Chains A and B, each alone.
Chain A
Amino acid sequence: MHIDWWTLGLQAINVLVLVWLLRHFLFQPIKAVIEARRAAAAGLLQEAETARAAAQAELASVEARRRDFQREGDAILTAAHAQAAAERKAMLDQARGEAGRILAEAHAVLDRDRAAQRKTLEAEAGELAVAMARRLLDLLPPRQVTLALLDGLATEIDQLQEAARRDLATADAIVIATATPLAPEIQAQWRDHVAQRLGAGPRLEFRHEPALIAGVELRGPHTLLRRNWRADLERLARALPLAPQVRDVQQLA
């Protein structure tokens, strides 16, 4: 077997040259374009990542703004609630005050009406009492009533103060008025009573006055002793808030 060393050397050189040629015209350009594409893809990915990050940042910003709006809305709502509650409280307080005032006025009106009604009732009751007393007195024997009243009048003379007793004792005349006319023996009996108590100085005058309603009066110059039911009724009527018409009747009487 024969080896052509020239051919071997030339083929070695040829292969080495081919290595250089293919490196220069094939492998390097192809690798370069692949790398460029990879870089472009990486750039695109980077841009996409940047855009995604920006979008996320924008989303976060929008979310933050939305939360701010929510917070602001909540604050406004809370303030509105507070203001509404305050206004409601104020209106309630005002309504309570107004209601209290109206209630107080109503109570006052009621009190006034009740007082007026009570006065009316008392007046009517007094009038009724006077009417009943008149009826009851009408049922009693006038003479017995007058005697009992005269006994009471004698007791009052006994209880008079010294000045009043002296005034009566020094009087020229003493009038004894009764609702029913006194019998002569009663008059004589009374003259004795007066003489025993006041002395024989005063002259007694007996008068018949039906308006006294079962009663007697002893009238001196400056002293008046009343012992009759009419006087008691008048005192009672003065104590009671009698109806105006009753008072008018009493005054007339």
Chain B
Amino acid sequence: MQSPLETHPAFHLGPLPLSAPVLVTWGLMLALAGGSWLLTRRLALRPGRAQAALELVVETIDQQIRETMRVPAEPYLALIGTFFLFVLTANWSSLVPGIEPPTASIETDAALALIVFVAVIVHGVRVRGWRGYLRNFLYPNILMAPLNILETLTRSFALMVRLFGNVMSGVFVIGIVLSLVGFLVPVPLMALELLTGAVQAYIFSVLAMVFIGGAVEGEPGEARERNDR
């Protein structure tokens, strides 16, 4: 019996082992990108229902970024928006029979957390420079530098584990219940999993915004001065 915590290749493409999460992710990428392409081909100033829904989603994410990070949302919109849409669709992909959400595998969550970790560094350095970014670790004093560095690592790790634990546990529980009691009993649990998936997508995105916003903002008041400039 295979451990649900382990990911095994579904097949190999040459020397490259392709696992189920990667394949599902490709499917999700195809759906998201293709759907976006289809829906944004004929955008008009007078939007239809689909365009209005898309605009609502994008504007909501944009507004959330502005309110959370207190900076212009444009540089972060694609990254944060992709986090939210990908995690959400990945979590909800469990509704398709036979599909296991990619976020239920620790590699996907680790990849997401790794990207957040790198994005924090990249945007922190981009906005504040190396010195400014590194000075962030000395806040409030130099004695806190080891703890700040450790916090940077552990919070990315916690980001990964939080998403993985929530999604994997839901899939695991539904699988167990489904194997034990029958076909319709897991339905409430699946509905709950929908809510959990949406909440986890929101939490992951908000935490990514907070981390990147903290690196961009730096010491208290610094971002306000920068925005004023």
Contacts and interface: CB of A to CB of B under 8 A. Distances in A.
Interface in A1-47: 1-12, 14-23, 25-34, 36-37, 40
Contacts of B25: 11, 14-15
A1 B6 contact: yes
Interface residues of A, number: 35
A18 B33 contact: yes
Interface of B: 3, 5-9, 16-19, 21-22, 25-26, 28-29, 32-33, 36-37, 39-40, 43-45, 47, 51, 54-55, 58-59, 62, 74, 77-79, 81-82, 85-86, 102, 105-108, 110-112, 114-115
A20 B78 CA distance: 8
Contacts of A22: 32-33, 36, 78, 81-82, 85
A177 B182 CA distance: 194
A14 to B, nearest CB: 5
Contact of B36 (A3, A5, A10, A21): A21
A15 B86 contact: yes
Nearest to B59: A34
Given A18-B86, A21-B36, A26-B54, A3 B26 contact: no
B19 A14 contact: no
Interface of A is mostly: helix
Contacts of A32: 43
Contact of B22 (A14, A20, A21): A14
B78 A6 contact: no
Of A9, A20, A22, A32, most buried by chain B (CB within 10 Å of CB) is A22
A4 B8 CA distance: 8
B1 to A, nearest CB: 15
Interface of A: 1-12, 14-23, 25-34, 36-37, 40
Contact of B107 (A4, A23, A29, A34): A4
Contacts of B16: 6, 10
A164 B17 CA distance: 194
A10 B86 contact: no
B77 A3 contact: no
B197 to A, nearest CB: 17
Given A4-B107, A29-B43, A33-B47, 9 more contacts: A4-B19, A8-B107, A14-B111, A18-B28, A22-B81, A23-B78, A27-B58, A30-B40, A40-B45
A29 B33 CA distance: 13
A19 B79 contact: yes
A4 B33 contact: no
A25 B43 CA distance: 11
A20 B112 CA distance: 15
A17 B22 CA distance: 13
Contacts of B9: 4, 6
Contacts of A30: 40, 43, 54-55, 58
A80 B32 CA distance: 86
Nearest to A29: B40
B111 A11 contact: yes
